[in-house]
Homo-oligomer: A and B are copies of this chain.
Amino acid sequence: MFKHDKQLLKDVRVDGPNPNYASLMLDQLGGPHGELKAALQYLSQSYRIKDEKIKDLFMDIASEELSHMEMVAQTVNLLNGHTLEAMNTSVGTVESHVIGGLAPMLTNASGYPWTGAYIECTGDLAADLLSDISAETRAKVVYEYLYRQINDKGVRETIDFLLNREEAHNTLFREAFNMLQNTGSLQDWGVTQDSKVYFDLSTPGKYFNELKDPQAPRFNTPDQPH
């Protein structure tokens, strides 16, 4: 069961309206590496999980991503300001000005509606956690790109917070991943010769070789310097 608290997870503010940047920011609401994607990916994965520790982790983080959605949406609202005038903008989707009355839409920055095709959910814990680790890394990258393209201090504070939260989730997912040993897709790794061959199909250039003793993925312990 979900409950909602009208207090934002962290308050947001902007120095001033910036409808062009509002379109860019929208990507982290309804784009492929945005908060909705993260929330629904972890939610989807959680529905069939047996392991209670990892299920709890998924629900904690999914709830937080739903809470991030509110922060991003409210930032987009403030950036959109109060003037319904598409002609004043020149970057990204115009749907908010044409059909949305400036409300934040569930699309990416170019107006492509969010799609369930973004969701990775395999029912295999190792695969799902790797999907989540890579998803959090991509989310961080997008926040870095967005950060560079704005000087607004309020927006930068919010991005900085969200970016750091993606790092935290990333670290936690790796911690969970390392709790798995020889289960699911991590089993029987590299047992046939086919898993060791290197096909050098692009020429010229060959920098990698046959794999001697391939192992299943495993991260260095996240909390320890490597």
Q: Which A residues form the contact surface with B (CB < 8 A)?
A: 1-9, 20-21, 23-24, 27, 30-33, 36, 40, 43-45, 47-48, 52-53, 56-57, 59-60, 62-64, 66-67, 69-70, 73-74, 76-77, 84-87, 89-95, 97-124, 126-127, 130-131, 133-134, 137-138, 140-142, 144-146, 148-149, 160-161, 164-165, 167-168, 170-172, 174-176, 184-185, 189-190, 192, 194-208, 211-215, 217-220, 222-226
- Minimum C-beta distance from A178 to chain B (A): 10
Q: How far is the CA of A96 from the CA of B133 in the complex (A)?
A: 22
Choose from B107, B123, B175 the contact partner of A208 (Cβ within 8 Å).
Answer: B175
Please list the 6 inter-chain residue pairs (A to B) with the smallest Cβ-Cβ separation, ordered nearest first. A101-B123, A110-B111, A113-B116, A59-B202, A164-B194, A63-B201
Cβ of B44 and Cβ of A106 under 8 Å apart? yes
Cβ of A215 and Cβ of B220 under 8 Å apart? yes
Can you show 11 pairs from A to B with CB atoms below 8 A apart? A1-B7, A3-B201, A27-B95, A32-B120, A45-B103, A47-B77, A84-B149, A98-B145, A111-B111, A117-B118, A215-B220
Cβ of B141 and Cβ of A168 under 8 Å apart? no
Apart from A45-B103, A123-B141: 14 A-B pairs, beta carbons within 8 A: A2-B2, A2-B66, A56-B207, A90-B90, A98-B142, A99-B145, A110-B111, A122-B138, A127-B137, A127-B141, A130-B130, A131-B138, A168-B198, A172-B208
Central interface residue in A3, A77, A87, A102, by most chain B CB within 10 Å: A3
Q: How far is the CA of A170 from the CA of B176 in the complex (A)?
A: 20
Central interface residue in A74, A92, A176, by most chain B CB within 10 Å: A92
Cβ of A220 and Cβ of B222 under 8 Å apart? no
Choose from B76, B98, B133, B225 the contact partner of A24 (Cβ within 8 Å).
Answer: B98
Query: Inside 8 A of A161's CB, which chain B residues have their CB?
Result: 194
